[in-house]
Amino acid sequence: MLIKTIHGWRIPENRATPEHVFFNRRKFIAAAGFAGIGLAAGIRPGRAAENPSAGLYPAPVNEMYKDAGRPITPEEVNTTYNNFYEFGTSKRISQAAEALKIRPWEIAFEGEVEQPFKLAFDELLKKMQLEQRVYRHRCVEAWSMTVPWSGFALKDLVALAKPTSNAKFVKFETFFNPDIAPEQKPPLFGAGYPWPYAEGLTMAEAMNDLAFMVTGAYGKPVAKSMGAPIRLHLPWKYGFKSIKSINKITFTAERPRSFWETLGPSEYGFWANVNPAVAHPRWSQAEERVLETGEKIPTVIFNGYGEQVASLYAGMDSLGDKLYR
């Protein structure tokens, strides 16, 4: 399929961004914030004081996921180096993302469910037991980070939605609001992006304990740039599966088509499991660059979470294309 729009994201990261310049500057800000000076706190996106759910954080640590075997990426790096295409095609969308209004925020549950319904985000929070989990995050662009997320297991949300036995997949969608998200405005030329951003999982994937609905990070409500008020995180899959700012969840009998799969099915597959043996058509996935330190480390199958998820893909060729696409 033709890729309608060519953007910087499709260029291997190491060729697209002169990061040493960016990170040297950011390191200074991060260090100041962590030393408790609070230099960055007053301008930090998604700051806790404005958020009615701030009192729920920090959430209790889930001992099973208290350590991802890697140092935690500094918060300032994480909140200011993002992929959030609704707000721009560069990594520096954190200011633009502040335009996102996260209250009121409703999530619609539709499709193959006993009864479709809508739920206000704050009502949903009251029904869920929040916990903190430290997860690895590996982008298809071959960079990685480690994040202390807060939220709840996706399987608990599935239980709340009451899908019928016809539900084989679950589809997630992000808001559509061109008034605040500049990239959602109709393009002057061409077809543009297939908004809203959408992603999908099999029901078995959604029920896996690792699949996590994120509402917080770094002991506070998740920043707008990182997908407030609620996003997904699937640590064994490439980051593009972890859809941000979700407002619709649909249970389906048919496999949903995701945003990036629509744009470039040969590059961004449905499964998108982290797999060092399957190169992206334009770059290797054998290694990843750790954000902040710049260290290059080998990428591991399922991003190191094979014990929990490999059985989901039994019968698929683990070294072949299938596991990825």
Nearer to ligand MTE, 201 or 226 (CB): 226
Residue 242 interacting with ligand MTE (CB under 6 A): yes
- According to CB under 6 A, which one of 86, 205, 288, 292 is a site residue for ligand MTE? 86
In a 3-state reduction of DSSP, which class is residue 125?
Answer: helix
Distance in Å, CB of 41 to ligand MTE, minimum: 19
The window from 16-24, 161-169, 241-249, 317-325 that contacts ligand MTE (CB under 6 A) reads 241-249
- Within 8 A by CB and 6+ apart from 148, the residues are 72, 132, 133, 134, 217, 218, 219
The window from 99-107, 120-128, 236-244, 308-316 that contacts ligand MTE (CB under 6 A) reads 236-244
Helices (H) and strands (E) in the chain, counts: 9, 12
Nearer to ligand MTE, 112 or 143 (CB): 143
Residue 196 preceded by cis peptide, ω within 30: yes
Residue 84 interacting with ligand MTE (CB under 6 A): yes
- According to CB under 6 A, which one of 243, 272, 301, 309 is a site residue for ligand MTE? 243
Consecutive H or E run containing 204: helix 203-206
- DSSP calls for 210-245: T-EEEEEETTEEPPGGGTSS-EEE-TTB-GGGS--S
Residue 134 interacting with ligand MTE (CB under 6 A): no
Nearer to ligand MTE, 112 or 274 (CB): 274
- According to CB under 6 A, which one of 73, 83, 146, 247 is a site residue for ligand MTE? 83
The residue number whose beta carbon is nearest to ligand MTE equals 239
Alpha-carbon distance 256 to 205, whole Å?
A: 14
- According to CB under 6 A, which one of 245, 250, 252, 258 is a site residue for ligand MTE? 245
Residue 211 interacting with ligand MTE (CB under 6 A): no
The window from 34-42, 46-54, 79-87, 276-284 that contacts ligand MTE (CB under 6 A) reads 79-87
Torsion over CA of 98, 100, 101 and 104, rounded to 10 degrees?
A: -140
Q: Do you know the residue count of the chain? A: 325
Alpha-carbon distance 324 to 321, whole Å?
A: 5
Distance in Å, CB of 100 to ligand MTE, minimum: 10
Gyration radius of the chain over CA positions:
19
Residues 254-293 touching ligand MTE, rule: CB under 6 A, are none
Residue 131 interacting with ligand MTE (CB under 6 A): no
Q: Apex CA 226: angle with CA 112 and CA 308, to 5°?
A: 60
Nearer to ligand MTE, 88 or 111 (CB): 88
The window from 68-76, 84-92, 155-163, 297-305 that contacts ligand MTE (CB under 6 A) reads 84-92
Structure tokens at 44: 């930090």
Count of residues that bind ligand MTE according to CB under 6 A: 15
- Within 8 A by CB and 6+ apart from 78, the residues are 145, 147, 217, 218, 223, 226, 291
85, 193 contact by CB (below 8 A) = yes
- According to CB under 6 A, which one of 65, 135, 149, 240 is a site residue for ligand MTE? 240
Nearer to ligand MTE, 150 or 242 (CB): 242
Q: Which of 205, 133, 137, 209 shows the shortest CA–CA distance to 171?
A: 205
Distance in Å, CB of 258 to ligand MTE, minimum: 10
* Residues binding ligand MTE (CB under 6 A): 82-86, 139, 174, 197, 226, 239-240, 242-245
